Amino acid sequence: ELREKVLDVSREVIRLSARAIAATHREDQSNADEFLAKSRDTLATLTEAVKAEPHLANSGIILAAYQEYGEATLVRALIRDGKLLTPEELSIPYKPYLAALADTVGELRRHALDLIRVDEVERAEQALKLMEEIFELLMEFDYPDAILPGMKRKQDMVRRVIEHTRGDLTIAIRQRKLERTLKRAERGK
């Protein structure tokens, strides 16, 4: 019975966190904050419920809830404030924090592409810089899979996402320069 409750509550944390990320991308800070607050409170309830059950407290579903909440909170803080929060500030364990950090890079790519689409190239460059800072931090964790499962794969994924974003940003910058040059040439006629 407790296991079923844990699954349901974990799914709720994950669902609320996903909604917070979506609201952040829409620049709907009020809803993002509301979903994050609900997610945080639900996660606290979940953490309290499994305290006496270590086999559940360290289960994959609990770690997934921490990871999704961490990702949503990191995405909001990075996009809104350019601030990278620590695991202590998020009150989550290190392993799900690192996984959340890696997944945050994909959300920052989405943010950068949204910015490129509305011709806010400088802000997109800031998003790329944050992605690179996260990558540098993640590369400090050079541990075998037995200690940090999936980290090597996530590091490789982050590297690829950054390279693709850098390429997209380079194209946008070159396109912008070309458009400006053409406009100057037209005015000069």
pLDDT at 106: 97
Q: Map out the domains of the chain as residue ranges.
A: 1-92, 93-189
Q: Give the residue among 88, 79, 82, 65 at the shortest CA–CA distance from 11.
A: 65
Which CATH architecture does the domain made up of 1-92 adopt?
A: Up-down Bundle (1.20)
CATH of domain 93-189: 1.20.58.2140
Q: What is the pTM of this model?
A: 0.91
The string of pLDDT tens digits covering residues 75-86 is 999 999 999 999
User: What average pLDDT does this structure show over 3-23?
Assistant: 95
Cβ atoms of residues 39 and 13 within 8 Å: yes
> What is the mean predicted confidence (pLDDT) over 87-102?
95
pLDDT digits (tens, 9 = 90+) for 25-69: 999 999 999 999 999 999 999 998 888 888 887 788 899 999 999
Q: Tell me phi and psi for residue 118, to 5 degrees.
A: -105, 20
Closest CA to 128 of 177, 29, 120: 120
What pLDDT band is residue 9 in, cutting at 50, 70 and 90?
very high
Percent of the chain at pLDDT exceeding 70: 99
The reply to whether 93-189 shares the fold of 1-92 is yes
Mean pLDDT in residue range 150-169? 96
The pLDDT score that the predictor gives to residue 189 is: 66
Q: Which of 126, 137, 122, 118 is nearest to 78 (CA)?
A: 126
Q: Is the per-residue pLDDT at 188 higher than 80?
A: no
Q: Return phi, psi of residue 58, to 5°.
A: -110, 20
The number of residues making up the chain comes to: 189
